Amino acid sequence: MKIPFSTFKNLDDELKPEIMQKFESIYESGWFIHGKEVNEFEKNFAKYIGCKYCIGVGNGLDAIKLALLALGIGEGDEVIVPSNTFIATVLAISQVGATPILVDPDIDTYNISYMNIKKYISNKTKAIIVVHLYGQSADMDEIMEIVKDNNLFLIEDCAQAHGAIYKEKKVGSFGDISCFSFYPGKNLGALGDGGAVVTNNKKYDFLVRTLANYGSDKKYHHIYKGFNSRLDELQAGFLNVKLTHIDEMINDRCRIAHKYLNGIKNKKILLPITKSDRNHVWHIFAIRTKTRDEFQEYLKNNGIDTLVHYPISIAKQEAYLNDKLNDLEGAYRISLEELSLPLYYGMSNEEIEYVIDVINRY
């Protein structure tokens, strides 16, 4: 049997009639930037997350960059960020001129450790960016207490955790500003690039909205030296279709993850742990094993594709070698031991059971 790491085919086939109809209606409207689909998506998504405001932007990286700029973070400021995230989270900090301060995760959940955060707060610290890695919320109560005690800003990077819940609230509703990506592979994915910023603060809504549209509050009236980072009207239309199916899409990921959790019984494989006061939306099903490369090769030889999230920790990335970032043990260990199993909408029971069987025979 051949098992891809991921495929959109099952979902794309199911949604094709609705997506095609949406395309046709936008095509006929002849309106492709900042039209009624973007408007509607911003309303729908704000409501889904439980925030007052949502601004569609070009992608997830821009969402984080715009959030930092709206909070006035730049040169001379330090921003605390997980040592084991996708590089975009850290790039955004560098690109506004601030200094990323890497902090190691809790090795059980892979999310930033609040105990470790405390060690790295200085008088230059302005903000913490939490990442709800792989689809599970970080420790929000403890982190929000640190934020409050030290008068910091909180940004949530929710690119892997659309719909994830912490103590009955969706992630994205805790931060001063929260950021989402709609890259096709994310749990809510467009048919190209896309992103969003959500907030409950009217001033931040205005700043992000304006900065993302040439610094313009009215047409040809520019109050900031802004950017062009807008959620495309077509992508917003497709996202409006997909958002109505997001719960089914998440439930299906949970179905597959629970089969893995119940079926994989191999002492060499460490299964993911979900804390009891939150759920997991399984953007990534991350296991750990000491013999990762050999195990990945074994799965490959049995027709099962996997990925590593991420094979090189940020401190060790070539782009950051001159920055001399905190080269921490936890991030390095995860880069050596982590492996992500295949998990995609519509994955059949036969496919799941085949993966479980091959793993149990390792």
Ligand X SMILES: *Cc1c(COP(=O)(O)O)cnc(C)c1O
Q: Which residues bind ligand X (CB under 6 A)?
A: 59-61, 85-86, 88-89, 131, 157, 159-160, 181, 183, 193, 195
Other CB atoms closer than 10 Å to residue 206's CB: what's the count? 15
| Distance of closest approach, residue 283 Cβ to ligand X, in angstroms | 8
Here the tokens at position 161 are 């955790």
- The CA distance from 120 to 58, in Å, is 32
CA 51 to chain centre: 17
CA angle, 10 as apex, 190 and 232 as ends, to 5°? Answer: 10
Q: For residue 102, which of 140, 131, 67 has the smallest C-alpha distance?
A: 131
State the minimum distance, in angstroms, from the CB of residue 160 to ligand X: 5
Using the structure block, give the residue that is written with the tokens 């039209």: 35
> In the complex with ligand X, which residue's Cβ is closer, 111 or 295?
111
For ligand X, which is the closer residue by CB, 126 or 186? 186
Between CA 12 and CA 271 the distance in angstroms is 30
Amino acid at 110: Y
- Cα–Cα nearest to 177, from 133, 147, 215: 147
Q: Tell the smallest beta-carbon distance from residue 25 to ligand X (Å).
A: 25
Residue nearer to ligand X on the CB measure, 229 or 289: 229
Going by their DSSP bridges, the two strands 216-218 and 78-82 should be labelled as: unpaired
Q: 87 or 107: whose CB is closer to ligand X?
A: 87
Query: Which residue's Cβ lies closest to ligand X?
Result: 60
* Cβ 161 to ligand X shortest distance, Å: 9
d(CA 6, CA 183): 14
Reported as half-sphere exposure (CB side, CA atoms, 13 A), residue 249 has a value of 23
Q: Which is nearer to ligand X, 135 or 354 (CB)?
A: 135
Distance CA 171, CA 164 (A): 6
Quote the CA–CA distance of 202 and 186 in Å, as a whole number.
28
Minimum distance from residue 131 beta carbon to ligand X (Å): 5
Measured CA to CA, the distance from residue 148 to residue 125 in angstroms comes to: 13
- Using the minimum distance from each CB to ligand X, give the nearer residue, 59 or 340: 59
Minimum distance, C-beta of residue 47 to ligand X, in the bound complex (Å):
22
Query: Which residue, 26 or 67, is less far from ligand X as judged by CB?
Result: 67
- For the bound state, the minimum distance from the C-beta of residue 159 to ligand X, rounded and expressed in Å, comes to 3
Q: Are 11 and 345 in contact (CB under 8 A)?
A: yes
Determine the 3-state secondary structure of 163 from DSSP. Answer: coil
The sign of the dihedral angle between the CA atoms of 267, 105, 84, 133 is: positive
| Least spacing, CB of residue 86 vs ligand X, in Å | 4
Cβ of residue 180: shortest distance to ligand X, in angstroms? Answer: 8
Measured from the CB atom, the residue of 61 and 325 that comes closer to ligand X is: 61
Alpha helices in 166-229 (DSSP H): 202-211
Nearer to ligand X, 93 or 355 (CB): 93
Query: Shortest Cβ distance from residue 132 to ligand X (Å)?
Result: 8
- Residue 258: which H helix or E strand, with range? helix 246-263
Query: Among residues 61 and 315, whose Cβ is nearest to ligand X?
Result: 61
Give the type of residue at 280.
H
